[in-house]
Structure 1
Amino acid sequence: MMPRFFPRAGRLLAALGLIASASLALAAEAAFPPAGSVGLVPPPGMTPAKAFAGFEHRSGASILIAEMPAEAYGPLVEKFTPEALRATGFEAREAGMPLGVAGGEGRVLRGRQAANGLAYAKWVAVVRGGTATGLVTVQVPEAARGQVPNEAVEAALSTIAFRSPGSLADQMAALPYGVGDLAGFRPVRTLMGNALMLTDGPKDIDSDGVQPMIVVAPSLGRAAVPAGQEGAFARKALASFREIRDVTVTGEERTARDGAVVHRLRAAGVDPKSGRAVALTQTIRFDPAGYLRILGLAPADRAEALARAERVAASVTMR
């Protein structure tokens, strides 16, 4: 944000900065996460992120890119309002505005959000082009606005581009971990360049919740959990899973593997949409720099799938 004094000079400098940033962006080619189909020209100083699909800056600023099927655009836009996102802590300055996207369309919300004791300037854009929908989230710590100014972010958003996605095998190869034993599950898609969804059944999208499924997801960045608090963290993570209600822990186990603490919970709950009973298993591997969470779900009458989900969890190794 420009200082309030010398407003005309401030606006002029901002305009010049925006023009310069946009010119540099147009001269460069969009960068894409490995095997990803949504990319952009990142602001100066931002480099490809190692722990997620997107870009990061030494100041703590980040651009997170999540990809979804093209048909997800309509439902996302319907919920793309300041009121809907306020529940997540995001305070938008105004309603969603059109965002120009080469060969596609998009909308963007601008505002701020507080997290972990810090205040961030934030942009959330939903875009569609080709065969994909992208959700692009930019966060810049208020203290770093001079290093990643608004004008540079706006210029980067104007360069969002699409390409043909890599194969699922390519996307899995780009994950920061490998899965050694699928145990009868089938990989469906990767999410945000670091999460993996697997299922046991013919449907890729199981809106009725009748197929057992697994989600593997590491923490974003450094998110170490203090020693001795792993169990409390695991229970809180399971209780916060909004897709299942009335969660009751039925079993708990703590082990060590390769210098990491591995905490496993078994639980039962209810699918709020169908009212059906659901069985769950959650394994979290706690390393000094972060954690890796593997969540398995199955209809209660297919609880045998949980043992196979735990085989998958035991086979996951960091790259």
Structure 2
Amino acid sequence: MSFPRSRYAVLRLLALLGLLAAPAHAAEATFPPTGAVGLVPPPGMVPAKAFAGFEHPSGASIVIIEMPAEAYGQLVAKFTPEALGPTGFVAKGTGEGLSVTGGEGRLLRGSQSANGLAYTKWIAVVRGGAGTGLVTVQVPEAARRQVPDKAVEAALGTIAFRAPGNVADQIAALPYSVGDLAGFRPVRTLMGNALLLTDGPKDIDPEGEQAIVIVAPSLGQVPVAPGQEGAFARKALGTIREVRDIAVTDEKNSTLGGAAVVRLRGTGSDTLSGRMMSVHQTIRFDGAGYLRVIGFAGADQRDVLARIDRIAASIAVR
């Protein structure tokens, strides 16, 4: 996955039987634990265990990413088929407004292929209350009878906001704990399973002046064959969109509690500003999944890499 500096992203929902039984707006929205953005899930969709949103046995999913209210303008400015094209998303049309109670939104429909499967996809960016939400719905082509387009469209009309849980409650709900923050400040959780930390006073930092760290487990099972951890880690490092032309300057392989750990350090240039950056990535491989720690800092912030090491070493799965 990619982890934006102040960027965030995903969602989906609502089955036809639910529509026939009762109007979608008659039901109350369901919210992820401590989350501020929710909606009415369709029959057969249940709250996801690995991320903030909902999942269906067919593989359809709704991913919800929450951001501060001021992020809405930044997202809408780049919410175009052309801007999303490099991610593999093929849009149908140029998008349209989305009605949100007490707020506003924009919606794009389209398709995307991943891991050999084709998906019908909806991406909505919404603002309401004191926050912004990015809701992504994706339905495998083979599952469109189980989660039909009409049901998804109706569900998107049920997006609602509530007061978010505080940061301490959000962290307490994560599937892991961080014993040493190494001087970094928790900003918020992402998708219900990732944690964003920063080294400065700003929660939104579009100029990338502050060092940031993102801690995130894999979504679902991602088995990596023994001996292939290093190759996987280097490939994952190449998916970071925030820094381009990354050159690995150091690699360390170790074990922790029987799990293989690969730490990579490198340098590259900030995608937006061109400024030279230091990059840190630690991946702990454990069974069928992994936990990833990514850090970015200006090349002149030399103490940050050692502090990120402290964060990575202090993480314990609950």
Q: TM-score, normalised by structure 2?
A: 0.89
Instruction: Please say if residues 185 and 199 of structure 1, whose CA atoms lie closer than 8 Å, have aligned partners that are also in contact.
Output: yes
Aligned: 1:110 with 2:109 = yes
Q: Distance in 1 between matches of 2:20 and 2:79?
A: 27
Supply the AA of the counterpart residue of 1:236.
K
What residue in structure 1 maps to residue 99 of structure 2? 100
Aligned to 1:170: 169
The 5 Å alignment of 1:77-226 reads 77-226=76-225
User: Matches of residues 1-319 of structure 1 in structure 2 within 5 Å?
Assistant: 17=16, 20-21=19-20, 23-319=22-318
Q: 1:110-151: CA deviations, max 9, x gaps?
A: 221111000111111111111111111001111111211112
Amino acid at match of 2:233: A
Q: 1:279 to 1:48 in 2, by over 3 A?
A: same
Which stretch of the first structure deviates more once superposed, 82-91 or 108-117?
A: 82-91
Larger-gyration structure (1/2): 1
- Shift in Å at residue 208 of structure 1? 3.6
Aligned CA distance change for structure 1 residues 57 and 188 (closer, same or farther; 3 Å): same
Point out the structure with the larger helix share: 1
For 2:172 and 2:162, the matched residues in 1 are separated by 19
Taking the aligned partners of 1:23 and 1:79, their CA distance within structure 2 comes to: 36
Q: Which runs of 5+ in 2 are unaligned?
A: 1-15
Moved more, 140-149 or 268-277: 268-277
State the one-letter code of the partner of 1:94.
G
TM-superposed CA distance for 1:275, in Å, is: 4.0
Change (3 A) 1:289 1:198: same
Post-superposition offset of 1:269: 2.3
Q: Distance in 2 between matches of 1:304 and 1:297?
A: 12
Distance 1:177 1:125 in 2: 29
What fraction of aligned residue pairs are identical, expressed as a percent? 69
**1:260–1:287 CA contact under 8 A, matched in 2:** yes
SS of 2:158 mapped into structure 1: coil
Give the structure 2 partner of residue 11 of structure 1: none
Deviation at 1:181, TM superposition (A): 0.8
Q: Could you say if the C-alpha distance between residues 22 and 293 of structure 1 is closer, same or farther in structure 2, counting changes exceeding 3 Å?
A: farther
Kindly tell me: are residues 212 and 107 of structure 1, through their superposed partners in 2, closer, same or farther at Cα, counting changes over 3 Å?
Answer: closer
The whole-number CA distance in structure 2 between the counterparts of 1:274 and 1:78 is 18
Kindly indicate whether the alpha-carbon contact (under 8 Å) linking 1:265 and 1:282 is maintained by their aligned counterparts in 2: yes
- Matched residue type, 1:99: L
What CA distance in whole angstroms lies between the structure 2 residues aligned with 1:188 and 1:304?
20
> Structure 1: which 5+ residue stretches go unaligned?
1-16
Offset, 1:27: 2.6
Counterpart AA for 1:129: G
Could you give the per-residue CA deviations for residues 259-318 of structure 1, whole angstroms, max 9, x where no partner exists? 321111121223344444322221001122211110122222221221111110011112
Residue identity matched to 1:178 = S
Question: Relative CO higher for 1 or 2, CA cutoff 8 Å, sep ≥ 6?
Answer: 2
Partner of 2:22, secondary structure, is helix
Q: CA RMSD in A?
A: 1.9
Deviation by residue 1:190-237 (Cα, 9 ceiling, x = unmatched): 112121111222232333433332111122222222222211111122
Q: Which residue of structure 2 aligns with residue 14 of structure 1?
A: none
Question: For the Cα contact (< 8 Å) 2:126–2:132, is it kept in 1?
Answer: yes
CA contact (8 A) 1:18 1:151 kept: no
Instruction: Answer whether contact 1:211 1:298 (CA < 8 A) is retained.
Output: yes
TM-score, length of structure 1 as denominator length: 0.89
CA–CA separation in structure 2 for the residues paired with 1:157 and 1:21: 17
Distance 1:256 1:285 in 2: 8
Distance in 1 separating the partners of 2:244 and 2:90: 27
Instruction: Answer yes or no: is the 8 Å Cα contact 1:21–1:152 preserved in 2.
Output: no
Aligned equivalents of 1:58, 1:160: Cα separation in 2: 22
Query: Closer, same or farther in 2 for the Cα pair 1:155/1:295, shift >3 Å?
Result: same
Amino acid at match of 1:35: T
Separation in 1 of the partners of 2:205 and 2:84?
Answer: 25
Cα distance in 2 for partners of 1:133, 1:271 equals 25
Q: Matched residue of 1:310: which SS?
A: helix
